[in-house]
Structure 1
Amino acid sequence: MRKREFILIWIIVSAILNVTGVADAEILTVADGLKLAQENSRLIKIIERDENIAEADIMLAKSRMLPFVDSSMNQTFLTYQPKAIFGPTTVPLSEKTFFSYSLNIQQTLYDFKANASRYEASKIIFQTKKFDTQRVRNLVGFEFLVNYTDILESEKLILVAEKEVERLQSHHRIAEVLYTQGVITKNDLLQAEVRISDAKQRLLTVRNYRALAASHLNNILARPLNTEIETTDFKEIASDIINMDMGKIWELAEIKRPELQIVNETLNVLNLEQKSKKAEYYPKFYVAGGYDYNENRYQVHESNWSLNLGMNVIVFNGFATKAELIKLEQQKFKLLEQKNKLIDEIKLEIAKYILDSRTAQERVSVTENAVQQAEENLRIYRVMYEKGSGISTDVLDAVTLLTVAETNYYKAVYDLRKAEAGVMYSIGTELSEAYE
C-alpha cells in the first residue's frame, strides 16, 4: 500500500514539475531576442563605458579654455618677529603671528587655437566611441541571429530525425508481419533494427546540438544557461539587396559601416592634434588677477589687488614638438593604410555573404524538389515491398535518401537565413531595425 502511495505522489510531483517547466519556457521572437541581446550584452555594457570616459575627456578639454581660479588661506607662526636694522635700532617688519589669504584667477586670451583644437578633437573622439558602440551592438545582434538560426535549424533536424525513426519503425512492423507470413527472411528484420538504432543515435546527437545552441544563445543574452527557449521562425528580408549591383551595395556600406566612420573621424582627430601641437611654436597670451591679504599692522596696506597681462613662449624644448608632429604624421599614414585594408576586408565580407545568399537560394530550390522526389521514391518502394515484389534494402535506402533530402533542404533554408543576416551586417544595417 505504501509503495502505491509513494508511486502516486511521485507521479503528481513529476506532473507539477513538468507543468512548471512548460510554463517557464519562453517564446522568444527574433525582434525580442535582438532587443534583449543588445540590452543585456556584457560586451555592449563594457564598450558603453568608453563613451562615458570620452564624455569626461570633453569636460577635461573644455576646462583648459575656462578661467583657472585658486585660493589659499593660512596662519603663520614665527619663532622670531621679522625686523630690520635701521641705524642704531631695529624696526619690526611684520608681526610674529599673522593671518593671510589670497584669491587668484588666470584666463588664457589666445593660444593659436591649441586648446580649442583639443576640445574639438575630444568631441570627435566621443563620436567615434558612439560609432564603436554601434559596431559592437550590430556584432552582438549578428551573433544572436546566427545562434538563433542554429536553434531553428536544429529543431527542424530533430523533426527530420524523429520522422526517420518513425519511418524505420513502420517498416520494421511491416517486415515483422511479412516475416511471420514467411515472405521474408530474418535478415530483413535485423537490417531494420540496425537502421533504427543508428537513426536514434542521430536523433540524440541533434537534440544535444539544440541544447548546446540554446545555452550559447542564453550566454549572449546574459541569462542562466539552462533557461528554456521556445523559438519562432522568421522570413527572408534581404532578397532585394542580394540582387543589387555590387557597386551599389558597396556605396551603402561606405555610408553605413561604423568602422569606416570611425577611421574617417579618427583622421580628423589627428589633424586637430597636429594643429594643437603646432601652436606650441607660438606664444600664449593670458591675463591674471588676484586679491591678496596679509595681516600686518606695520604695512600701510594689508590687502592689495593685482592685474597682470602676460605671454608664455617655448624657446627650446629639445625638438620635442617636432618629434610629436612627425609622430602624428606617421600615425595618419598608418591609419590610411589601415583604412585601405579595412575597405578590402569589408568588400570581401560583403562578397562572401552575397555569394552565400545566392548559393543558398539555389540550394533551397534544388533541395525542395529533391524532397518531393524522395517522398515519391519511398512511397513506391513501400508499396512494392508490402506487395512482396520489393526488397527491404530498397525501402531502407529510400528512407535514408528522404532523410538526407530533408536535412539538405533545412540546412539550405537556414544557411540562407544566416547569409541574409550576414549581408545586412556587412553593409552596416542596424539589425534591430531590420528584424522588427
Structure 2
Amino acid sequence: EAIREAEYRRKAALSAFFPQVETQYSYTRLDEKPTFTIPGLPPSEVGPKDNYNWLTTVTQPVFTGGALRNGYLLARLGVDVAKWEFERTKQDLVLKVKEAYWGVLVAERMVEVASRALESLREHYRVAQAFYKEGMIPKNDLLQVEVELAQREQDLVRARNGLETARSVFNTLLRRRLDAEVKLAETLRYEPFRGDLKACTERALQQRPELKAARLAIQMAEKEVKIAASGLFPQVSLLFNYERQGDEPSVSGSRYNPDEESWNVMAVVRWKVWDWGQTWWGVKESKARVFQAERNLQEAIDGVKLEVKEAYLNLREAEKNIRVAEKVLEQAEENFRINEERYKHQVATSTDVLDALTLLVRAQTNYWTALSEYNIARARLDRAMGERWR
C-alpha cells in the first residue's frame, strides 16, 4: 500500500505540468436594472436584473522556479524509498520465517530426544524389575527408576507441546491455520560459512535497503531545498479565458449585449518581492533537513556495521559450540552404553545409569540446540548483510 500511495503521489506531481482547466457558472440578481442617465433626458436601461455568467479558464504553468520539476523528482524518489522500505519489511519477515522454521526443526528433535530417553528408561526399568524379582536390587532402586520414568514422560509431553507451539508460530507467519499440518523436508545440519567480517560488512553497505532508503532521503531533502528556493523566482503562466453571459440560464446574451461570448489570452507574471524573509528562512530550514538526513545516513551506516559484526561473532560462536557439542555427545553416548552394560552385569548401580541417561539427554539437547542456533545466526547474518533470500 505504501508503494501504491507513493506512485499515486508521483502521478499527481506529474499532472501539475499539464494545463489545468477550471469552469464556473454564476447567477447574479440586482435590486434594479442598471441605468444610464443624461441630464435633461429620462434614464436609459443598460442591463438586465438577472445576470447569468459561465467562465472557463485554462492555466498552463510556464516557469515556476523549478518547483514543478523538483516536486515531480521528489515524488519519484518517494516511490523508490517506498520500494526499499517494502524490501526491508520483506527481509524482516523472511528472517522471522527462518527463525520459526528452525524452531520447528529443533522442537521436532527435542521430541525425538525425549522419546528415545523414555524408551531407554523403559528398557532399564524392565531390567531393574527382573533384578528386583530375583532379589538382586533393593526396592528403593526400583522406585528411583519409576520416579525417573514419570519425569521422562512429563518431559515428552512438554516437548510435544513445544513442538505444537512452534508449528503454530510458523503457521501464523505464513498466514495459515494454526492447526495446519507442518511437514518440513529439511533437517538440522551444519554448512560452514566461508566469509570474513570485512567482506560481510562491505556487502551489507552495498545491499542493506535501510542504507539505500537513507541515501534517497538525502536526495529528497535536496529536492525540498530547491522547491523552497523556487519561491524566490517569478512565477510565469499562460491563461486562456472563455466567457459566456446573458439574462437567461442558457447564457445566450441579452438585448443589452447580444454578443454572448468573449475570450482572451493572458501572460501572467507573479513575483513575491517581499515577505519578511519567510521564503528565505524556509530555504534555510530545508537545508537543515539535508544536514539531518546526512547525519541519519552516517548513523545508519554505523548501526549496520555494528549489527553485522555482532551477527558475525554470534555465528562464529555458534559454530564453535557445534564442535564442542558433537564431542560431548559422543562421550555421553559411550558413557551411557558402558553404564548400561555394567548395570546388566551388576557392577554399576541404577543411579549410575540414570545419571548417564541425564547426561546423554543434556548432550543431545545441547547438540540440536547448537545446530539450531547456528542456522538462526546464519539467517541473522544474512539479514544484517541485506541478502534477499538464501
Same fold (TM over 0.5): yes
* Alignment of 1:139 onto 2:139: no
Q: How much does 1:375 deviate?
A: 1.5
Q: How much does 1:163 deviate?
A: 0.8
Contact 1:257 1:426 in 2 (8 A): yes
Assess, with a 3 A threshold, how the Cα gap between structure 1 residues 428 and 237 changes in structure 2: closer, same or farther. farther
Of residues 161, 179, 185, the one that matches 2:132 is 179
Q: How much does 1:152 deviate?
A: 0.8
Aligned to 2:37: 85
CA distance in 1, matches of 2:167, 2:150: 26
Aligned to 2:249: none
**Structure 2: gaps spanning 5 or more residues:** 247-253
3-state secondary structure, aligned to 1:230: coil
CA distance in 2, matches of 1:236, 1:291: 78
CA distance in 2, matches of 1:215, 1:318: 63
Higher helix share: 1
CA distance in 1, matches of 2:282, 2:145: 79
CA distance in 1, matches of 2:280, 2:68: 18
More displaced stretch, 229-238 vs 380-389: 229-238
Q: How much does 1:309 deviate?
A: 0.8
State the number of aligned residues.
382
Of residues 117, 131, 138, the one that matches 1:164 is 117
Of residues 73, 79, 90, the one that matches 2:25 is 73
**Structure 1: gaps spanning 5 or more residues:** 1-48
CA distance in 2, matches of 1:211, 1:220: 14
CA distance in 1, matches of 2:153, 2:301: 48
CA distance in 1, matches of 2:283, 2:139: 88
CA distance in 2, matches of 1:237, 1:414: 9
Contact 1:238 1:420 in 2 (8 A): no
TM-score (ref. length: structure 2)? 0.93
Of residues 45, 68, 85, the one that matches 1:115 is 68
TM-score (ref. length: structure 1)? 0.83
Backbone CA RMSD of aligned residues: 1.9
Q: How much does 1:313 deviate?
A: 0.9
Of residues 248, 253, 268, the one that matches 1:310 is 268
Q: How much does 1:74 deviate?
A: 3.9
Q: Deviations over 1:66-110 (max 9, x none)?
A: 211111234544442222223322222222334432221111111
Q: How much does 1:238 deviate?
A: 7.1
3-state secondary structure, aligned to 2:60: strand
* Alignment of 1:63 onto 2:21: no
* Alignment of 1:284 onto 2:235: yes
Q: Which letter maps to 1:363?
A: N
3-state secondary structure, aligned to 2:272: coil
Identity across the alignment (%)? 26
Q: Which letter maps to 2:34?
A: P
Aligned to 2:150: 197
Aligned to 1:275: 226
More displaced stretch, 244-253 vs 392-401: 244-253
More displaced stretch, 421-430 vs 226-235: 226-235
More displaced stretch, 193-202 vs 220-229: 220-229
Of residues 254, 266, 290, the one that matches 2:205 is 254
Q: How much does 1:166 deviate?
A: 1.1
CA distance in 1, matches of 2:179, 2:274: 66
Map 1:313-324; keep pairs closer than 5 Å.
313-324=271-282
